[in-house]
Amino acid sequence: MGWASSRFGWFGIAAQNVSHPILNYCGAGLCLLSGLIFFFVKADVELLHSSETIPLLIDRRTNSGSYGQNSSESWIDTIGPKSKRFIGFLLAVVAGLMYAFSIIPVLYIKSNSVHHDSMFYESSVYDLDYVHAHCCGIFIASTVYFAIYCAAMNTKPKLYSRAVLPGLLSGLMWAIGTYCWFLANNYLNSVITFPIVTVGYGLVAALWGCLVFKEIKGLANCLIFSLASCVVLTGSVLTAISNL
């Protein structure tokens, strides 16, 4: 979505051209294809943990200030593995679309900064000037969503206490990554950076699941994972060189 908006000028954004459009199309297509291939990688997440492992999230939920297993199961725990997998994939797609839309306002402001009749006339075209507002907007929105969730749960939200600090650290790492992305946009344009950054996040997350958490097991799964990784790298390279 982000790449298409930049390339074809959707949502009032000025269309961006590249030196080699065919390479850019192929690169973006391969990046999209890699996501479909990753869908067929089956993660081997054990529900029953051995005595040698300590789960990070299970049995660590906090409800109304107390620790321990909650008396009521989450709805996600009551559905089958196939339905859970499909819902997870669907939510990931929705999250990706929303992620792309979060950058579009910045591109819109930059595109309309040269139009005399626009309210954004003479606005900054330097991408890093928008990082602070972007991150603050996400922080405020997350706070509002959490407040709504607490109200819906009658001030008894289900929290995983051991995930709070890693969540804060991951948010800090994400902010640093976003800073680098906006800086890359300033030099390469979003039509180049969108496909690379989008699949780059997914590849790093998949590598964590494969190498650290050992979620990917079996020869077939490893082969599919390797194929998807190669497609990601190929798509990223084609996208990068499409504007040389």
Could you tell me the pLDDT band of residue 140, with boundaries at 50, 70 and 90? Answer: very high
For the residues of 174-239, what is the DSSP string, one character each?
A: HHHHHHHHHHHHHHH-HHHHHHHHHHHHHHHHHHIIIIIS----SHHHHHHHHHHHHHHHHHHHHH
Sheet holding 66-67, edge to edge: 66-67, 61-63, 158-160
pTM over 0.85: no
Q: How far apart are CA 124 and CA 115, in angstroms?
A: 13
Q: How far apart are CA 157 and CA 177, in angstroms?
A: 30
Mean pLDDT over residues 139-161, rounded?
A: 89
Q: CA 124 from chain center: how many Å?
A: 26
What percentage of the chain reaches a pLDDT higher than 70?
Answer: 87
pLDDT beyond 60 at 77: yes
Q: CA 194 from chain center: how many Å?
A: 12
Mean pLDDT over residues 66-87, rounded?
A: 68
Q: What type of residue sits at position 127?
A: D
Per domain, the residue ranges of the chain are 2-46+58-241
Amino acid 72: pLDDT: 55
Amino acid 78: pLDDT: 80
Amino acid 44: pLDDT: 67
Per the prediction, the chain carries an average pLDDT of 83
Mean pLDDT over residues 106-119, rounded?
A: 90
Mean pLDDT over residues 55-74, rounded?
A: 51
Amino acid 215: pLDDT: 83
Amino acid 210: pLDDT: 85
Mean pLDDT over residues 59-87, rounded?
A: 64
Report the candidate in 152, 171, 153, 168 with the shortest Cα–Cα distance to residue 62.
153
Amino acid 145: pLDDT: 93
What are φ and ψ of residue 61, in 5° steps?
A: -75, 145
Amino acid 63: pLDDT: 53
User: What confidence tens digit (pLDDT) does each residue in 152-200 have?
Assistant: 988 888 888 888 898 899 899 989 989 999 999 888 888 899 888 888 8
